[in-house]
Structure 1
């Protein structure tokens, strides 16, 4: 069976969908699984043994140059020659639905019109899955992918998942245990204050590696390292290196963003800090993966861009959570 999953972006959303891969291979062991993804996020998927082909696109280039639409269309038409049995649009956006239709298959599956924000996308599917938009993102991805393939599973199956991020390099030469801080996010109101991050490091008194993805985040990481006794700035690297750093950590602390969600994918203890985004929807709490949410109420259908309540979460809430759940076992 030739299966194509369309999940273009962003990092956290891709990770939330990847959990379904092991279920596909378990129930349809001889299937071919290809994945359509924006080129900037290709590294998240790389080295996964359950993915046969990672097929990248650059739809974002169209915003800068309208003529790029022809280049991307031709690229998608080459992917259509793969003769898929089913294409599953796990994104649920108009652009991902159009991508699915251009590539083409006898069955194009996706969310029904009542399960997504851009309801027009459902017109492109001939197999439609219903699960409310407000439901947990991991449950939603599992539903649209697994139900499209008639795969049965339980919540307990998800909780007992195997790790599903893989990397090619093993650059962790220093075996000294460490914690990871994820200090950046896609939006400013998802970022926890650097002063409070530094206070966490000083309270825990454990070696801490601060990861970063751009120059602004590098400045934040440097400030934390300069204002705490145990923090070090991670070297510049790619997504392969980031997966390696997270996989070898004892615990990860960060906001609602891709690198923090990597901890869940790799079965590493974590605390995800939420402000203006819904904790019940954007992650899966487990015995080792905990969440701390600010007091603000969140509507997942209309996020409040003026909500900076993540800044109000006290350092003690985080350190007490670590202690209460014994997340640091060394």
Structure 2
């Protein structure tokens, strides 16, 4: 069976689709999936053996110069690529108007979420076979349910992303190492720096190395402060996602915050803890068989979903919603998972 899957973005959404792909690959004989995905995430679908071809789309780049000659030529080539194959199933797992437009371009019976199930109800007009999938669930079980209804199989027990970590060669690091994903986009999603340093000390004292990746100057400076004077705590050189994946895939454990890289770790099924304070993990948070999500139980406001802290409280640990998620608690959780 040849399936065209439309799931273009974001990074977390792409990872949330992999368990459904794994289910389908196990249940449907001779399944082959072509996956339409934003060009920035084109490497990720290739991690799964069911995906035979990745078709990059560049909506984010195209919309900046929609009517330029170069953009028009790229859009024409993209449409021709979609129409070059007759598919048994064209499945839009995104549920947006833009993904519905892509679905209409392809050749084959069109499936997607019905108007009451998708994020943008107009998208449902693109599908010949709309599917009802209840809202209020985490994204992963929703996509798994959609796939099972369209491809007619029972959802298996358990959860697997189907990613083989051996595709990445182990970096040249002696002994066991843990990775701390300390960087993220909002200041309210940052676990307190003093906690990271305490966790680094606990890990180092246990005989394990700590590796600190970074993606910008602010994260580099934070990593340097966390590592300062601590034996076995190392700031990694700047690297791309594929190189960093090699470290993540072979880490003994990973601690992280609400960031895209925590979704990568969940997909790699590495023992990990994902720390949530200001944000809500219920619908789109990190989820996996080897990850523990630590949610703040700070009853005053968490999760506030605010990019700036709304509390004006004294204390060294800020934001206050992270105070109860102590370094000792994270350390002990990781020890239990390895």
TM-score bin (small chain): 0.7 to 0.9
Q: Within 5 Å, which residues of 2 pair with 1:16-35? A: 16-35=16-35
Q: State whether residues 3 and 87 of structure 2, in contact with CA within 8 Å, keep that contact through their aligned partners in structure 1.
A: yes
Per the alignment, residue 58 of structure 1 pairs with: 58
Within the alignment, does 1:86 sit opposite 2:100 as a pair?
A: no
Per the alignment, residue 277 of structure 1 pairs with: 279
Q: State whether residues 23 and 144 of structure 2, in contact with CA within 8 Å, keep that contact through their aligned partners in structure 1.
A: no
Q: State whether residues 271 and 334 of structure 2, in contact with CA within 8 Å, keep that contact through their aligned partners in structure 1.
A: no
Q: How does the TM-score come out when normalised to structure 2?
A: 0.84
Count of aligned positions: 321
- Once the two structures are TM-superposed, the CA of residue 167 in structure 1 deviates from its matched residue by 6.9
Within the alignment, does 1:327 sit opposite 2:336 as a pair?
A: yes
Q: Which sections of structure 1, spanning at least 5 residues, go unmatched?
A: none
Q: Within 5 Å, which residues of 2 pair with 1:218-237? A: 218-226=220-228, 228-237=230-239
Structure 1 window deviating more from structure 2 (181-190 vs 249-258): it is: 181-190
Per the alignment, residue 174 of structure 1 pairs with: 173
- Secondary structure in 1 aligned to 2:274? strand
User: CA offsets per residue over residues 160-183 of structure 1, 9 Å max, x none?
Assistant: x26425575415122411111112
Q: State whether residues 199 and 315 of structure 1, in contact with CA within 8 Å, keep that contact through their aligned partners in structure 2.
A: no
Inter-partner Cα distance in structure 2 for 1:38 and 1:19: 19
Q: How does the TM-score come out when normalised to structure 1?
A: 0.86
* Cα distance change on mapping 1:285 and 1:86 into 2, 3 Å: closer
* Cα distance change on mapping 1:190 and 1:122 into 2, 3 Å: farther
Inter-partner Cα distance in structure 2 for 1:210 and 1:315: 23
Inter-partner Cα distance in structure 2 for 1:35 and 1:45: 7
- Once the two structures are TM-superposed, the CA of residue 214 in structure 1 deviates from its matched residue by 3.5
- Once the two structures are TM-superposed, the CA of residue 269 in structure 1 deviates from its matched residue by 0.9
Structure 1 residue ranges (4+ consecutive) displaced by more than 6 angstroms after TM superposition: none
- Once the two structures are TM-superposed, the CA of residue 60 in structure 1 deviates from its matched residue by 0.9
Asked which structure has the greater CA Rg, the reply is: 2
User: CA offsets per residue over residues 183-223 of structure 1, 9 Å max, x none?
Assistant: 22244433323332222212332311112233433333233
- Once the two structures are TM-superposed, the CA of residue 227 in structure 1 deviates from its matched residue by 6.2
- Once the two structures are TM-superposed, the CA of residue 290 in structure 1 deviates from its matched residue by 0.8
* Cα distance change on mapping 1:12 and 1:279 into 2, 3 Å: same
Inter-partner Cα distance in structure 2 for 1:147 and 1:318: 43
User: CA offsets per residue over residues 112-131 of structure 1, 9 Å max, x none?
Assistant: 22223322212212222333
Within the alignment, does 1:193 sit opposite 2:202 as a pair?
A: no
Inter-partner Cα distance in structure 2 for 1:117 and 1:305: 23
* Cα distance change on mapping 1:212 and 1:90 into 2, 3 Å: farther
Per the alignment, residue 49 of structure 1 pairs with: 49
Match of 1:317 among 307, 311, 326: 326
Q: State whether residues 177 and 209 of structure 2, in contact with CA within 8 Å, keep that contact through their aligned partners in structure 1.
A: yes
Inter-partner Cα distance in structure 1 for 2:253 and 2:196: 14
Q: Within 5 Å, which residues of 2 pair with 1:1-330? A: 1-67=1-67, 70-77=72-79, 78-102=81-105, 104-154=106-156, 156-158=157-159, 161=160, 163-164=162-163, 168-205=167-204, 206-226=208-228, 228-281=230-283, 282-284=285-287, 286=289, 288-294=290-296, 295=298, 296-298=301-303, 303-306=305-308, 311-312=319-320, 313-314=322-323, 317-323=326-332, 326-327=335-336, 329=338
Inter-partner Cα distance in structure 1 for 2:169 and 2:34: 26
Inter-partner Cα distance in structure 1 for 2:214 and 2:324: 21
